Homo-oligomer: A and B are copies of this chain.
């Protein structure tokens, strides 16, 4: 049973209003390609980004932050250690967190780390079809950060992963899907230009983390983040000549949505 939810559904609008009001402090341990864009997406939407990657500090900060993102896109061994400390601290402190298993599958460091962390109760796991399949133990045949399978094809794997880990699983694709192992919510919309700007998916993971601090459930957080991103992308695409003006427009539209 797949439901569909899109902006301006009142639950999404209420979540966005709460995000803007509370400006959740969102600790991002993310990859070096997307740090700047991720922080700007969070700021545009109304959250307060912060990135504290040192192993000496990441744990303390995860305990006081309102939410945590762990994105393994460009991890090195010291990054992995800081992520372990942050996730452990988040677990102790009750800080909800998102795991983004970028390009897991064949690459050993990230695949091992993601397999380890996914068992430590992330509230949300977000990836494309290949990444979710790979993390669920299936063979995704992934090609770096691009997915070679559709998001619907990965839904079975997402169901299994959700049931096994207790996490909500979000599969990004032409249509995004979010499942808690029972319900499935489809989020239509968005624009193909999201795939022509680096880090749109990574920023979506960060936005899901921010929404975890204000939404009623992790499912709602993942759905609201996806729907807000999709709606802003549609508006930005309408005014863009190409990916450069689209990226700037996406930040503008995130800040303007619903106002």
Q: Which residues of A contact B (CB under 8 A)?
A: 25, 31-37, 39-40, 43-44, 48-57, 60-61, 64-65, 73-78, 103, 106-110, 143-146, 196-199, 240-245, 247-256
Contact = CB atoms under 8 A, between A and B. Distances in A.
Contacts of A252: 240-245
14 contacts: A25-B144, A33-B39, A40-B247, A43-B197, A48-B144, A52-B74, A57-B109, A60-B108, A61-B107, A242-B255, A243-B255, A244-B250, A245-B248, A245-B249
A137 B93 CA distance: 27
A55 to B, nearest CB: 8
Copies of this chain per assembly = 3
The winner among A31, A56, A73 for most chain B CB atoms within 10 A is: A56
Given A48-B145, A53-B76, 20 more contacts: A31-B51, A39-B199, A40-B198, A43-B196, A44-B243, A44-B244, A49-B198, A50-B144, A52-B107, A54-B74, A54-B76, A54-B110, A55-B77, A60-B107, A61-B107, A242-B253, A242-B255, A243-B255, A244-B252, A245-B249
Nearest to A64: B106
A34 B32 contact: no
Contacts of A240: 252
Given A35-B32, A51-B31, A51-B74, A43 B249 contact: no
- Closest 5 A/B residue pairs (Cβ): A242-B252, A244-B251, A244-B248, A50-B144, A39-B198
Given A56-B108, A77-B54, A248-B248, A196 B242 contact: no
Contacts of A110: 54, 57
A7 B255 CA distance: 29
The winner among A34, A43, A54, A240 for most chain B CB atoms within 10 A is: A54
Contacts of A50: 103, 144-145
The winner among A36, A39, A61, A254 for most chain B CB atoms within 10 A is: A36
B40 A244 contact: yes
A15 to B, nearest CB: 20
Nearest to A199: B36
